[in-house]
Amino acid sequence: MASNHLTGIGSESKQLATWYFTFAAILFGAQLLFGLVAAIQYVMPGFLFEILDFSVARMIHINALVVWMVFAMFGAVYWLLPDETGIETIGIKVGKLLYWVFVAAIVVVVLVYIFVQVGPADETSIWFIHEGREYIEAPRWADFGIVVVALGFVANLFMTGMKGKRSGIVTVLMADMIAFAGLYLTGMFFTDNITVDQYWWWWVIHLWVEATWEVYVGALAAYGLITMIGAHRKVVEMWLWIEVAMLFGSGILGMGHHYFWIGTPEYWWEIGALFSALEPLPLVAMFIHVLYDWGKTQGAQDATGQKLSVINNKPAFTWFVLNAFGNFLGAGIWGFFHTLPQVNLYTHGTQFTSAHGHLAFFGAYATILIGMMYIAVQGVNGIKVMKSTRSSVWATWMIAGGVMGMTVALTIAGYVQVLVSRAQMGATWAGYFDGQSGLWFAQAMDWRLIMGVVTFTGFLFLAKDLLSIGKSPIHER
Amino acid sequence: MANKVSVWTDNRFWQRSAAWVTGFAAVLLIWLTFDTSAQISMGTDADLQNGVTKRVPGPTVINYKITYEMSAKRGHEVPIIGGNDGSGMSLFQEKEKFFGRDDYSEEEAGALLHLGKLGSQTKNCMNCHTLLGNGAYYAPDLTKSWLDPAWQDGGTMQAMTGKSTKEEAMAEFLQHPSTYPTHARMMPDLGITAEEAKGLVAFLKHMSSIDTNGFPRNFGKIQGAVNGK
């Protein structure tokens, strides 16, 4: 049974990782809370009107999403780095300092979002309030702060990777994280030309979530398989390289599916359709890979005649398997639904996108990052085999079920919008509200709110579990 | 002879493949970006004067009448600026007054567009509306809102504001949105000034002139499709 997850106890890098995970979990809660506010506003439009409007709630909802994931991603790298390289992370003191800079910046940004909300139409507002560009609304001063913190993180990773043992996983992470940090720069300018604006905006959003983040998940899954079920490193890393080739091979040019209707030339129809249609393939491969390695190691164990699970961290492995399936379902299937231009002409800018967004961010990223939090809990508490508590199980079912429920509801709302507002009514103001007033749309929004409450309740179980599971007597120590 | 290990299980082979595939895709993307950037750069007043069709026209497009009509050649609707030559191409002739003028200079129109684009970001339009289809889904898409029948002469929104032109009606609405309830879901007051509203309307008019490859389809063409409306 693999136990190298224990090698880093006492490591400062792992301590920093737990800091990152803690703040990530807090932001995850904030993301869900502000999502609930926005969901209530769909059902009761007067709720917090002109106090905390939908635009503000939604901005915090999606910003908290992006930032908690970045925090958890940084944390996961600081966690696995000592295990993979065999040495303590170099420059960890600077890393710790940058953590506090990052946290302070986020707190200031969020307070300004909540209490200032909007400013006059000038550059000062862009610099100090927000940039008003979905997902990367952070004001310009914070952009520079994020770049500094990201560079410090990349420096930690590179110095450690070059001095220590450079495994395939670390090599992939080094290449991936420098692209991840560098791409942020393409979203840091103002232009009067909204087509140029959105062209480069997608370089950040798409090349993060449909390229560099996916590769990151591949590397994390590889690490998880080795540490949790003792999968063979050579096999795991071979799959990882195949996944990198498939993910970047499809994802980079798959960007074309965002360039169908923003003023860019028609040739993006063909390029976007072809490459984004290929994007689900690596996600299928990743799903098969996780189950294959699990079956292979468990089969080898069974052959010894001893009935014993090879999994040394049940809750974490559950979330990793949910990741393999959720990534395929949310990013792959729900993405493919509306990726061809012939369909996207009608689905672009509807709740369909929102349905895909919810299941994809959850399935591809939230799952595996929650799994990493459980791995950290196991390591910090020196547990040999960690088992699921009742809270682990409730959290898993309620969060996964809640997100799936929201996704189905939003998909139905999307269909109503596509058929009524778009196909029948031609997308005007009146057409939009005809769609929104439909009974099926209204019911879908009710269900989305209910499922949102289920998700949030699941989060409460998760928070309780992460705080208490380490002390539970049920584990093998 | 020794049974050789296949290259298909060789990690080095897959590592190199990953590097080549990624490099190839990235180079192709960068090359396409150069081509696209040239095609989406903003046009000038001279382009409009000389009848040059640009995917993103210059700011002085606000001096012209803009419509959204079917192009037989391209098989979908395209923005038509200053009149249709009959085959779905712009004539760049017919003007349209914008706040009483149709002779905005490149500097004046550019300043209005700049103010409007800044306003579109600082007022956070994108976290309720979609622009070019991107954003949030809590409020209508703004891509072709300048051409929405509700704002035209005789349209419900224009009538509600009591103004006699669509640009004045839109500007009035933007300054006092919650005093003109159009739906249970209302737009909040965002402290938009008269000057900012003018800029925002210029920004919306300019956006409606961008060639979006036929998105949204059938905009404003279908009346009475649902419930006999």
**Residues in chain A within 8 Å Cβ distance of B229:** 430, 434
**Cβ pair A347, A418 in contact under 8 A:** yes
d(CA A277, CA A251): 10
Q: Which amino acid is at B228?
A: G
**Residues in chain A within 8 Å Cβ distance of B145:** 429
Residues of chain A above pLDDT 90, percent = 96
**pLDDT attached to residue B183:** 86
Say how many CB pairs under 8 Å bridge A and B.
269
B70 touches chain A (CB under 8 A): no
Residue A265 Cα, gap to closest chain B Cα (Å): 7
Interface test with B, best of A183, A260, A262, A410 (most B CBs within 10 A): A262
Q: Which residue has the tokens 């604006």?
A: A197
Q: A4: helix, coil or strand?
A: helix
**Residues in chain B within 8 Å Cβ distance of A265:** 35-36, 39-40, 55
Average pLDDT over residues A389-411: 98
B125 touches chain A (CB under 8 A): yes
Is the CB of B138 less than 8 angstroms away from the CB of A54? yes
Is the CB of A252 less than 8 angstroms away from the CB of B136? no
B82: left (phi over 0), alpha (psi -120 to 50) or beta: left
Residue B177: asked if its preceding bond is cis (omega within 30°), the reply is no
Residue A229 Cα, gap to closest chain B Cα (Å): 21
Band of residue B226 on the pLDDT scale cut at 50, 70, 90: very low
**Cβ pair A395, A32 in contact under 8 A:** no
Is the CB of B35 less than 8 angstroms away from the CB of A265? yes
**pLDDT attached to residue A148:** 94
**Cβ pair B56, A263 in contact under 8 A:** yes
Q: Measured between CB atoms, which of A194, A241, A434 is closest to B11?
A: A241
Residues written for chain B: 229
Q: A313: helix, coil or strand?
A: strand
Band of residue B223 on the pLDDT scale cut at 50, 70, 90: low
**Residues in chain B within 8 Å Cβ distance of A351:** 137
Identify which of A73, A75, A146, A72 has the alpha carbon closest to the alpha carbon of residue A109: A146
- Does the structure show a pLDDT above 80 at A10? no
Interface test with B, best of A140, A429, A439 (most B CBs within 10 A): A429
Go through A38-53 and write b for each residue having 16 or more CB atoms within 10 A of its CB, e for each that does not.
bbbbbeeeebbbeebb
Q: Measured between CB atoms, which of B29, B122, B182 is closest to A118?
A: B122
Is the CB of B213 less than 8 angstroms away from the CB of A266? yes
Band of residue A150 on the pLDDT scale cut at 50, 70, 90: very high
What is the CATH code for B45-208? 1.10.760
Ramachandran angles phi, psi of B78, nearest 5°: -135, 155
d(CA B179, CA B189): 9
- A176-213 residue pLDDT tens: 999 999 999 999 999 999 999 999 999 999 999 999 99
**pLDDT attached to residue B1:** 65
Q: Which helix or strand (DSSP H or E) is residue B77 part of?
A: strand B76-81
Give A143's Cβ-side CA count (13 Å radius).
23
Go through A433-458 and write b for each residue having 16 or more CB atoms within 10 A of its CB, e for each that does not.
bbbbebeebeebbebbbbbbbbbbbb
d(CA A350, CA A413): 9
Cα angle, residue A166 at apex, residues A164 and A172 outer, rounded to 5°: 135
Q: Which amino acid is at A361?
A: F
Is the CB of A349 less than 8 angstroms away from the CB of B134? yes
- B85-98 residue pLDDT tens: 988 999 999 999 99
- A282-332 residue pLDDT tens: 999 999 999 999 999 999 999 999 889 999 999 999 999 999 999 999 999
Band of residue A256 on the pLDDT scale cut at 50, 70, 90: very high
**pLDDT attached to residue A72:** 98
Ramachandran angles phi, psi of B2, nearest 5°: -65, 145
Q: Measured between CB atoms, which of B22, B130, B189 is closest to A349?
A: B130
Radius of gyration from C-alpha coordinates of chain B: 23
Residue B140: asked if its preceding bond is cis (omega within 30°), the reply is no
Q: Measured between CB atoms, which of A118, A261, A267 is closest to B215?
A: A261
Interface test with A, best of B182, B213, B229 (most A CBs within 10 A): B213
Q: Is the ipTM of this complex over 0.90?
A: yes
Average pLDDT over residues A35-61: 97
Q: Measured between CB atoms, which of B9, B113, B229 is closest to A192?
A: B113
Q: What is the DSSP letter of B138?
A: S
Give A287's Cβ-side CA count (13 Å radius).
19
The string of DSSP codes covering A79-94 is: HHHHHHHSSPPTTHHH
Is the CB of A123 less than 8 angstroms away from the CB of B118? yes
Beta-carbon contacts of residue B113 (< 8 Å; ≥ 6 apart): A192, B59, B62, B199, B202, B203, B206
Dig out the tokens for B59 from the structure: 């700011």
How large is the greatest C-alpha to C-alpha distance in chain A, in angstroms? 72
Nearest CA in chain A to B79: A263
* DSSP-assigned beta bridge partners for residue B71: B76
d(CA A370, CA B27): 35
**Residues in chain A within 8 Å Cβ distance of B183:** 45, 433, 436
d(CA A44, CA B114): 36
**Cβ pair A324, A221 in contact under 8 A:** yes
Identify which of B167, B201, B193 has the alpha carbon closest to the alpha carbon of residue B97: B167
d(CA B48, CA B77): 20
B217 touches chain A (CB under 8 A): yes
- Helix A390-416 / helix A314-326 crossing angle, nearest 10 deg: 10
Domains of chain B, residue spans? 45-208
**pLDDT attached to residue A9:** 62
d(CA B215, CA A260): 9
Average pLDDT over residues A222-231: 95
The string of DSSP codes covering A215-231 is: HHHHHHHHHHHHHHH--
Q: Which amino acid is at A368?
A: I
**Cβ pair B135, B225 in contact under 8 A:** no
**Cβ pair A337, A353 in contact under 8 A:** no
B141 touches chain A (CB under 8 A): yes
**pLDDT attached to residue B5:** 86
**Cβ pair A359, A404 in contact under 8 A:** yes
**Cβ pair A247, A282 in contact under 8 A:** yes
**pLDDT attached to residue A260:** 98
- A74-125 residue pLDDT tens: 999 999 999 999 999 999 999 999 999 999 999 999 999 999 999 999 999 9
The string of DSSP codes covering A339-364 is: TSHHHHHHHTTSHHHHHHHHHHIIII
* DSSP-assigned beta bridge partners for residue B134: B131
- Does the structure show a pLDDT above 50 at A34? yes
Q: What is the DSSP letter of B103?
A: -
List Cα–Cα distances, A329 to A281, A283, A322, B228, in angstroms: 11, 9, 10, 39
B8 touches chain A (CB under 8 A): no
Average pLDDT over residues A368-391: 96
d(CA B57, CA B46): 10
Beta-carbon contacts of residue A435 (< 8 Å; ≥ 6 apart): A416, A417, A420, A421, A422, A425, A441
Average pLDDT, chain A: 95
Average pLDDT over residues A274-285: 94
